[in-house]
Every structure is written in structure tokens, then in C-alpha cells.
Amino acid sequence: MAYDMGYAAPSTSNFQDVDASVPMFNVERVSLQFSIAADFVAAEVANNVLILALSTGRILRIDLDSPADIDDIDLPKKPSEVGIIKRLFLDPSASHLIITTTLAENYYLHTQSRTPKALSRLKGVAIESISWNPSQPTASTREILVGAADGNIYEVYIEPSSEFYRREERYLKAVYKTSDGPVTGLWTDIVPGRADLRRVIIATPSAFLHFAGKVGRAGHEGSGSIFSRLFESESATVHEVSNVSTSAPSLIAVSPEMPDTPPSDHSNPERIFGWLTSQGVLHGKLYLSPDTSELGGKVLGDSKMLPRSSIPPSQTASGRARRSQDAVTSMILSQWHVLQLVEGRIVATNRLDDTVVLDQVVLEPGQSALGLVADIKKNTYWLFTTQEIFEVVITDESRDVWKIMLKAQQFESASQFAKTSAQKDAVATASGDYLVGKGQYMEAAAVYGRSTKPFEQVALTFIDKGEQDALRKYLLTKLSTLKKSSIMQRVMVATWLIELYMAKLNTLDDTITTKAELSESMNTAETKDQLSTIRREYQDFANKNKSDLDRKTVYEIVSSHGREEELLYFATVVNDYNYVLAYWVQRERWQDSLAVLKKQTDPDIFYKYSSVLMVHVPVDLVEIMMRQVNLDARKLIPAFLNYNNITKASLSQNQAVRYLLFEINQHQSTDAAIHNTLISIYASNSTTDESALLAYLEGQSMAHEQNYDADFALRLCIQHKRVQSCVHIYSSMGQYVQAVDLALKYDSVDLASNVADRSDTAPPLRKKLWLAIAKKVISQSSGIKTAIDFLRRVDLLRIEDLIPFFPDFVVIDDFKDEICAALEDYSRKIDALKLDMDGSEDTARHIKADIKALDQRYAIVEPGERCYVCGLPLLARQFFVFPCQHAFHGDCLARRVVELAGVARGRRIAEVQLEVSRGMGVGGKREGAMRELDALVGSACVLCSEMAVKIIDAPFINAADDREEWAL
């Protein structure tokens, strides 16, 4: 059976910023697109599921998200047997429904079932209230509490079963009994801290009982009670009312879940309870605390009564009030209001200030209402009559909460609920004025900073009161609220804050210096702690707001206060390392300068300060520069030369040399300026030892490099008389004569000998060099013997080469032995030449004999022998026979040679063949062409000469061959 219910689910968002002209509460009739013959007798809503019970015993289950489909469910027995449905109890998840009738028959219906099951253990129990399990299970109810009309409270565990003989209730146990009437309300929730802590609220017409404590552990598969321990071991916190009317309704309502609360969160501390009594509604917060001993007292101590007298009286036809006839029949809670059904009216009262925000007549005279119902999951509110359904639509319920909080001077809460900027500003301004009035300037500063109260007025207030700390806090807060586009305002406020920070730091320093106490509660040690706190606060401020500060202005302010540490910190924050380095350099604080330089990567800073730092801390500076990867060593050369001129350090300690060698050896620098600078430092050093310079020059030569300017290096070495280096440079330039002349000029015969003895020198040049050296040696020697000893060392010179260098008075007897030895050597060489000539003559004779024998060489060709290329008889036409006994036709061999020979040789063979075939030339010219062709073709065998290597990758079987001959 299906029905169509024309219903559109309203929005559940209650926290939108809606225009105040839109009514906060609006009662709308829901049109039913189906007709029923019976009246509604009970109704429940949970999780957007509507349950309607009819007087005929039928139950309608409607999913409000898709209201077109309606489940029509009948009780197993007729109303005449079990009674008319009296109450419906639907859990918050809409998974479990318990139905009770006027004859105390109770049934259970699961959301996935269409057949209610009788609860046999609860038969005869007139159920008045149910407390669902706070964990909201869906497969079973888990442990729930059932309140009866006789004052008994039962714990029951219901689980749907498909077995016919199995009861739905796993167990049923009476756990508590009240002494003053039926149990009209029950609520259970979990106390945070441990899973075994529970709170249970019980309501009767005259008493409100609050239990909190441990529960027992659940038995196996729900076989044991968990609430027995709670009721046996804990005593209740009780609130009683007197003069209770027996006819007045009593119930407990709990506010819905907050819209932004996750479904799994069952410990919402902001939920509110309401207890309806004949005197009014007692309401308060359901506080949650792991300390359950005082929980009940706190809940009831902070609760307040909304008296019945606060409800406006209804009006008669003549306009007169008739309060005595007003009766509250039902009550529910929204987030901020108490909704009561008073006769045919719905009255909504703000629970914060007891103001009535809605008093609307909904029902016609004589129309009967079933009551108000709240969907605590979806924040929807309903009124049911026997024939109609109304929805109480709430729009922006919290719109006026901020005003109420502000009026009650609960400024923090008011700020939370203020939505528009104007509302927030009103709260901030009022809060600041209140705090100033109480002398709480620091708190007022933070609040004023978020308000639009005139800046000058607030600032003058703190200045007049002498509250510089509060003024600083106000400016900080104000700066955080200023837009980025308000550049001028931000700069002025930030600059003022710098002034305040410096003044505060100086004040604290003065206090510490004089060892005076700021107040009775603050001693010098506390002042030092405060100084550190303010300094950190300043540093955080400078780091965060550096873009709002003008460098020059801040430098002037901080310098005027003499705050060196703060000055340098700001310069560091804004990356003005030039300023920091200049500051330390001017004060000759070299280690501080290096500490700043270590953190830099900007090459320009190194170039700018390298000259002065190289003079005073060269070792440390070079260490830092060697760790940099983006320095241009060329731009450091002035600093190195200045350092070299001033310090006059030895080469082993010279830091300029150290860095230049690092650039050359580690960074593989080939820059001539770098190399020339190194040579300049080497050459100009005061030491006479030129081994370092010579080692560098030799290293360049060994690497076959010359990255320095040879002319420049030569001039420097000559200027500083670095003879060995000059000689090496001359030699590397190939100017051996100049090298030897320079060495001899400085009487360095050994050095000149080394140059002359170079293996890469041409023999004539070597002889020339040695003659120059010999002339120097002879001119320096005191006798002939020295010259003769030198002659014996050199194999290029003879005694006749040296005779012109001897003085005229030298007689031949002084070196006659050397002349005789030379003559004997010449004689031996002549004899050796004769032997060589005789051998050459014999060789020529043998060659002539071999040539003559070649004319008589022959090869035997057998009849039937075939060409190794075409396979035809060899004697058919002109052929070639090689000593390897391979024979070929002339034309076959020519084709084969053309294929295997190079392009040039093949082309020449083709040209000569063309000349011979055309009969070009006669006589000797034709014969020459024939001989050239024979020489080109028959120079080597194509099968066993070097040409055969080119056919190593040729297949054995060609495409033209008969493959069957090769078949196995």
C-alpha cells in the first residue's frame, strides 16, 4: 500500500546569516496527499523518518527524504485485542521502534522489518519513557532503560531475530524503582573519560533524579545487566517540586545535536535538558566531567526554572486574558529556545533571558493535539494533531544570541555568536569599555584592537593612564587587523611599536642596573625574565612585520636608544648585511664580522669587505671564501694584492697564495688574471728561494697548459731576478738561445746545460747552445784541463769546435792527446763506412741476380683447368696465374678486382679497359696501357691476398646457386 505525501524537507542549516526581517519561527502546515479514515493516535520523528500510528492499529513509516514511498505496517493483532496504540518510541537513528498500547501490549519494529514483534518479557508493562543507548547502535538496541507507569525502571536488550521461537529481548531486569509516581522521562549519555562511566536522568511528575558513575561490564552477548551496579552503588542528586498537579504533564526533553557535531560524537557539552513540570520548565546544561561525584550538583546548581507564569495568557474573544485555563501539554527544546504547546498555541521562549519570541495560535478551537516532537538528529520540529501535521521552521535561531550575551556581559560568548562585522565590533567596543572600567587594560587592549573605536581615542586612553604595555598590545592587535593595502597606516603603527619596544627595553635595563624593584611582586630576577620576554617579542615582531618597517627610520630610532643588539637583529632580519658588516668593521670587531659573513651567499658583500678583512683576519676569511661556490676570484685580486703589500707574509703563510692555489687546483680556474696574480706574488716575495714559483711553472708545463701571460711573467721574473723561472719561461716559449744566454749571464752553467740538453731541441741548435756554454766555460776556466773535462761531458762537440775559443798563447802540446784521440776516432769511422759500402755492393749484386731469375719463372697449367671465378675452362681466353696456383680469366679477374678494390682503383681499371677496347693509341702507348691494366688487375690474388678479407662476411651460397647441391 503506497501513499504520496507532499512534503519538501527543509534546510537543516540553522546558522546562516539571514536578514532579521525574516521571522525566526514559522509554523507551516504540511499538506498530506493521502486520506485516512482513522485519526492519528501517536507520532514520532527521528533522523528524517516520520512514524504515524493510526487508531486502526496501522503504522505509517515515511522517509522524509523521499516521501512518495510510505510503508504501511499493521500490528499482529487487532486493536480490540491489544488496545489502541498509546505511545511510539523511536531511537535517534530511526533504526528501532517500540510501540505500546493502551492495554500495555508492547511491540518492537526494526527499520529493516515490516512485521512488529511482540515483546513478551515486557507484556503488561505500561511504558512511559525510554532511554536509548547513547552509542546509537543500529543492529540491536544494546542496553536501554524503560520507564514504566508504576515507577519501575527496566533494563532491556532487544535484538531482532528471524527465529520464530526466539524472543526479541535477550534479557529484562528491573534496576530501579521510584517512589513518587510514573517514570515520565529518561536520558542516558556517556561521561567522557572512560567507557564505563554513564549518566542517567530520571524524571517523575514531582522529582528530577541525576545519577552518574560506573556501570558494570556487559555480559556475554547481552546476557547481563550493566546498570544494576550504577543504581546500587551511586546515590542520586535530586531536585523536587511541590504542589504538583496530578493532571499536569511531565516529561524530559534534550536539545538536538549541534549541526556541526560529528555523528560519532556523543559527548556534546553544550546539550541542554528541559524538565516539564506543573510549575514550569527546569532547564540547564548537561555538563560532562570525568569527576562524577559533583556532576549532579553542578548540573542542578546551574539550572534555572522557566516558570509557568512567564507564558503570556491566551486571549478570549473579548480580548481578555484567561490565564487559569492555560495548560502546557507538551514541550521540546531547540538549540536556544524552549517550545511549549499551550492549549492551541506554540510559545517559544529564549532560555537565556526568558523572552518570548513566538506566541502563535496554531490549532482551531476544539482541535486535539498529540504533542510536539523534535528530530534531534536533523534539527527539525513538529506538531501533530489527530488529523494534521505542522512543522515549526526555525530560521537563524542564534541571530540574537550575541545581544543577550553582550547584555549579560558574557563578551567572549557574544563574540562567538556575533556574525556580521558590525555585531563583532559592537561586542569588542563594549567589552573593551567594560575592561577599562575594571582596570584590566591589557585585556582591554586586545579587545579594542578588534574594534572600530577611534584609534586616537583608544591610544590617548592608554597614554593618559600610563599603560604603555597595554598601548603596545593594542597597537599589535590593531596592526594585525589592518589591511595590506593600508600601507601608510601599517608603517606608522609598526614604527610606533618599535619606539615602544625600545623604551620598554631601556626601562627594564635601567631597573636591572639599579637593582630596583618594579613592584612588590616583582624582583630583579623577574625583571630579567621580563627583559628576555620583551626582547623575544620584539624579535618576533620585527621578523613578522619587516615589510611594514622603513629601514632608515628604524635604524634611527633604535640607534637613538643605544640598543645595539636590537639594531643588528633588525638589520639581519631585513637582510641588510652590508649594514651589519659595516657596523662591526667600523668597530674592528673582526670575529663578529666573520660570524655575519659566514651566513652570506651574496658575492658583492665578499668583494666589498675582503680588502679590510684580508688584512686583519686573512686565515678565517679565506676559510669562509673557500666554502663559497659563487665567488669570482678575479674581483678579489685587489684585496689579495693589498694584503700582500701590507703583510709581507712568507709564501708558506700567505693566505692570498693559499686561495689562488685553491682556485687553480680545486676549481680548475684558467683565468689569466688569477694565474698572473699568483706569479706576481711569488716573484715579488722577499725570499730568495724561487722553488714555489718554479714548481708552479713546471706544473703548468707538465699539464701542457700555459694559463698565465708569458710576457708578463717574464718581465716580473727578470725584474725580481728570478733566474731559474726566467730560464723556464724562455724554454717553455721555445727561446732556448735566450734561456742559455740569461743563465750564462748569471754564471749558471748547470742551468744553461740543462736547457741545452733538452731532448726536443734540434741537433744544430743543441750544438749552438753547447758552443755558447763551452765558450763560457773556457772563458771562466783557469786551465786547459777544465775545458777538456767539459768536452768529455758533451758528445756533440769535438776538439776542433773548441779550438777557436782557446787563447792564442795555448800550445798544441796542452791537448795533443785529445787531437790524437779525435784523429783515431775519425779513422775508425772511415773504416766503418768502407765496410758499409762493401755490404751495399754485395746487396745490389744479389738483387740483380734475383731480378734475372724472375724472368725465367713459370707456372704449369693443366689441360681442363678452370677459372676460379666463372668455372669455365681457363685456356679459352686470356688468363692470369698466381704463385698460389689460383688462376682466373683476365676479364673475370678484372670484374672481381673492381668489386673488391677501392673506388679510385676500380674507376682507373674501367678507364684503362675502355682505352684498350677502343684500340686507342698505337705502338708503345697501347702497350703501356696493357701493362698498366695487367699491373692493376694482376697485382694480387683475389682469393688469398688482403682483398679476400673484404669478402669474409659473404655467404657461401648465393641467390643464383643451386641450393640442392648443398643439401644434406
Task: Give the E-state strand segments of 196-336 in sequence order.
Answer: 197-203, 207-214, 237-240, 251-254, 272-277, 280-285, 304-307, 328-333
Copy the grid coordinates of residue 681: 706574488
Chain Cα centroid distance, residue 423: 39
> What is the pLDDT at residue 6?
43
How far is the first Cα of the chain from the last one, in angstroms, to the nearest whole number? 92
Task: Quote the CA–CA distance of 422 and 429 in Å, as a whole number.
Answer: 10
Give Cβ neighbours of residue 459 (< 8 Å, ≥ 6 apart).
471, 474, 475
> What is the pLDDT at residue 786?
59
> What is the pLDDT at residue 801?
52
**Can you say whether the dihedral through the CA atoms of 734, 740, 745, 748 is positive or negative?**
positive
Closest CA to 688 of 661, 653, 721, 649: 721
Task: Quickly count helices (H) and strands (E) in the chain.
Answer: 32, 30
3-state secondary structure of 562: coil
> What is the pLDDT at residue 10?
36
**Angle formed by the axes of helices 577-586 and 564-573, to 10°?**
150
Q: pTM here?
A: 0.57
Query: Is the CB of residue 284 less than 8 Å from the CB of residue 272?
Result: yes
Query: Is the CB of residue 188 less than 8 Å from the CB of residue 131?
Result: yes
* Calculated CA dihedral for residues 8, 9, 12, 13, nearest 10 degrees: -30
> What is the pLDDT at residue 18?
43
* Amino acid letter for position 873: P
Task: Quote the CA–CA distance of 774 and 787 in Å, as a whole number.
Answer: 8
Q: Mean pLDDT by 10-residue block, N- to C-terminus, for the chain (968 residues)?
A: 40 41 84 77 93 92 85 90 94 95 94 91 94 92 94 93 75 91 94 86 94 79 77 92 82 86 47 92 91 89 90 67 68 94 92 90 88 93 92 89 83 81 82 81 83 86 87 88 89 91 86 62 72 88 89 90 85 82 83 84 84 87 86 87 84 86 86 87 82 83 81 85 80 75 70 64 64 63 56 55 53 59 71 84 83 73 86 86 86 84 80 75 69 81 81 73 65
> What is the pLDDT at residue 791?
53
Alpha-carbon Rg for the chain in angstroms: 59
Closest CA to 628 of 649, 607, 655: 607
* Calculated CA dihedral for residues 278, 284, 290, 291, nearest 10 degrees: -70
> What is the pLDDT at residue 521?
47
Task: Quote the CA–CA distance of 184 and 80 in Å, as a whole number.
Answer: 27
Helix (H) or strand (E) holding 571: helix 564-573
CB burial of 127-151 (b: ≥16 within 10 Å; e: otherwise) equals bbbbbbbbebbeebbbbbbbbbbeb
Task: Quote the CA–CA distance of 290 and 8 in Å, as a whole number.
Answer: 43
* Calculated CA dihedral for residues 779, 785, 789, 791, nearest 10 degrees: 60
Chain Cα centroid distance, residue 799: 88
